[in-house]
Amino acid sequence: MSPQNKLRWLPQDLYSFAAIVLLLLTLALTSWFTSQHWISQRIGTQLEDLHQQAALLAAAATRDLQQSRHQLKSIARTLASLSSTRAFVAAPGNSTRASLQADLERFDSGFGLDGIWLLGPDRQPLLPTPAGPPPAEVSLALEQDPGLRHFILEPERRQATFYYATPVGAGKREAILLLRSAVGGPARQAYRVSLLVTDSQGLISLADDAGWLQHVLRLPGAGTTPAEREYPRLPLVLSPLLPKVLLLGDERTPVLLVSHAPEEGGYQVHAMADASAAYRLALEQDRLATLITLGATGSLWGGLLTVLTLKRNRRHRLVMGRANNELVRLNRQLKQLATTDPLTDCPNRRAAEARLQYELANLQRYNHPFCIVMLDIDHFKHINDQHGHDTGDEVLRHFARLSRKTIRDTDILARIGGEEFLLILPKTDHQQGMHLAQRLLDTVAATPLYLADKTIGFTFSGGLTEARKSDGTNQLLVRADRALYRAKDNGRCRICSENLVLDHSVAVG
């Protein structure tokens, strides 16, 4: 390829390279932002699922606590309405005391209460009770609200407790019936979600994890509570990656906190869901996006390389195919040049000898007879001397064309030198060969060569012989050559065989 052609192709290669680079960059950016968006959506979906699960559990635990509180309320009202309770408050005495004491013991054991007090106007117990006096915090609260509904954690007992108070009687004889019921841990359990309950000051009173008890739950950024003066705060910090996620403890465990407050205040239920999976995904977001981008870009690059390789191979195959076809054509041309006479397009002597060997092999193996006729144009030297060599060449071509039209398709006419030709007649015996040779002689004698300024008539002499199994190529040609000389000696324009001389052609008289 010339330098001009190389320069002509160079811009196209540069444009193709630039197009591929631009395509890869576009795919890389698209893959990066798409993967970032997909991972963010995945994180959001996981957090939303965790939030829904935690919210359902917190609401269910709240309903359980409210049910326990309502049950305690019903027990308190039932006790306050008992005749023994009202009789003792109206007229304290030994008889009414014994009856009330028996009823209180039955309720305490029957409903699993943790303490029942009947307090007078001075908030002192009117009846002895094995539970001891109520906590000072509860007594102080009763001074402010006789209808107490209180949920507290009693540190000494490490027990979350419901207190419920209801008035009994009226006037100077008014008393307060106070019930205490221990609150068990939340009965709701779920995979990766923990429940905890805080009182009005944020102190954790109930928790699935006992290590959280007597800790204050306060969200980062919220104000302090009085309970923090006595109890440590649960270590929670905001996550730098996900605003909705908190990091818990020294291990920085990612959690999602969902709170649920009941209609009646005094406590709050919280569900703390493990958000480690979403947080890990957020930590690995850039790396995953990079891997996805590299994978997509690498796949496209591999596909482009495959396409380019296939295209190059196809172009290479086309070039090689054209080169191979050209080589085959040249080989055929060389073979034709090696086996064909360029002037008459007849097989040359080499091709004729190869065909003789083939026919001799068929004769020896399959008994297929064949004959050969050695042909020589009569007075050809005189034609050259009188009309010129160009005219002589035209005579040779005219003879070759006319002979090919006259002989059979299976017959072979070869030029073996000068004005000499060899006619090979496969599957032909001596008599058939003489007939075919004579017909060719008559045709040539009757068909002169017509040129623009002259007409040249000519004949030929022929020597025929039938092949024998013992013959070789040289023996066969020698016999045909002897027969040819016999035809010339007998006056030309005739066909002679080893034993027979045919009359001259009828076309020349």
Whether residue 273 contacts residue 256, with contact meaning beta carbons closer than 8 Å, is answered with yes
Residue 180 confidence class, pLDDT cut points 50, 70, 90: confident
* Phi, psi dihedrals of residue 450, rounded to the nearest 5°: -100, 120
In the chain, DSSP finds a helix count (H) and a strand count (E) of: 11, 17
% of the chain at pLDDT higher than 70: 87
Residues 259 and 393 in one domain: no
User: Residue 64 has what pLDDT?
Assistant: 76
Query: What CATH number has the domain bearing residue 73?
Result: 3.30.450.20
Residue 507 has pLDDT above 60, yes or no: no
Residues 82 and 189 in one domain: yes
How many independent structural domains does the chain possess? 2
Residue 305 domain-assigned (yes or no):
no
Last residue of a domain, one of 228, 249, 283: 283
Last residue of a domain, one of 268, 283, 298: 283
Summarize the confidence of residues 98-104 as an average pLDDT: 80
Query: What CATH number has the domain bearing residue 484?
Result: 3.30.70.270
Residues 247 and 136 in one domain: yes
Angstrom distance (rounded) from CA 272 to CA 50:
9
Summarize the confidence of residues 125-153 as an average pLDDT: 69
Summarize the confidence of residues 444-462 as an average pLDDT: 95
Give the DSSP letter of residue 92.
Answer: -
Residue 487 has pLDDT above 80, yes or no: yes
Summarize the confidence of residues 391-398 as an average pLDDT: 96
In 3-state terms, what secondary structure has residue 362?
A: helix
Summarize the confidence of residues 261-290 as an average pLDDT: 81
Residue 397 has pLDDT above 50, yes or no: yes
* Phi, psi dihedrals of residue 206, rounded to the nearest 5°: -135, 140
Residues 279 and 355 in one domain: no
Whether residue 196 contacts residue 208, with contact meaning beta carbons closer than 8 Å, is answered with yes
User: Residue 491 has what pLDDT?
Assistant: 94
Between 56 and 362, the more confident residue is 362
Residue 288 domain-assigned (yes or no):
no
Strand pairing report for 495-497 and 460-466: parallel
Residue 222 domain-assigned (yes or no):
yes
Residue 10 confidence class, pLDDT cut points 50, 70, 90: very low
Last residue of a domain, one of 236, 254, 283: 283
Residue 147 domain-assigned (yes or no):
yes
Summarised one tens digit per residue, pLDDT across range 14-38 is 777 787 788 878 878 888 888 888 8
User: Residue 132 has what pLDDT?
Assistant: 74
User: Which of 112-121, 481-490, 497-506 is modeled with the greatest confidence?
Assistant: 481-490
User: Which of 101-110, 154-163, 307-316, 404-413 is modeled with the greatest confidence?
Assistant: 404-413
Range in 87-101, 250-264, 334-348 with the lowest mean pLDDT: 87-101
Residue 444 domain-assigned (yes or no):
yes
Range in 217-231, 398-412, 483-497 with the lowest mean pLDDT: 217-231
Angstrom distance (rounded) from CA 190 to CA 272:
11
Residues 218 and 133 in one domain: yes
Residues 120 and 249 in one domain: yes
User: Residue 152 has what pLDDT?
Assistant: 65
Angstrom distance (rounded) from CA 207 to CA 403:
119
Angstrom distance (rounded) from CA 20 to CA 218:
57
Residues 279 and 402 in one domain: no
Between 213 and 1, the more confident residue is 213
Residue 420 has pLDDT above 90, yes or no: yes
Summarize the confidence of residues 447-463 as an average pLDDT: 95
Summarised one tens digit per residue, pLDDT across range 289-310 is 788 888 878 887 777 778 777 8
Q: What range does the domain containing 462 cover? A: 349-497
Residue 462 domain-assigned (yes or no):
yes
Residue 133 confidence class, pLDDT cut points 50, 70, 90: confident
Active site residues: 419
pTM (2 decimals)? 0.52
Residue 142 domain-assigned (yes or no):
yes
% of the chain at pLDDT higher than 90: 31
Residue 190 confidence class, pLDDT cut points 50, 70, 90: low
User: Residue 134 has what pLDDT?
Assistant: 78
User: Residue 3 has what pLDDT?
Assistant: 52
Question: If you average pLDDT over every residue of the chain, what do you get?
Answer: 83
Residues 50 and 193 in one domain: yes
Alpha helices, DSSP H, located in 121-209: 136-144
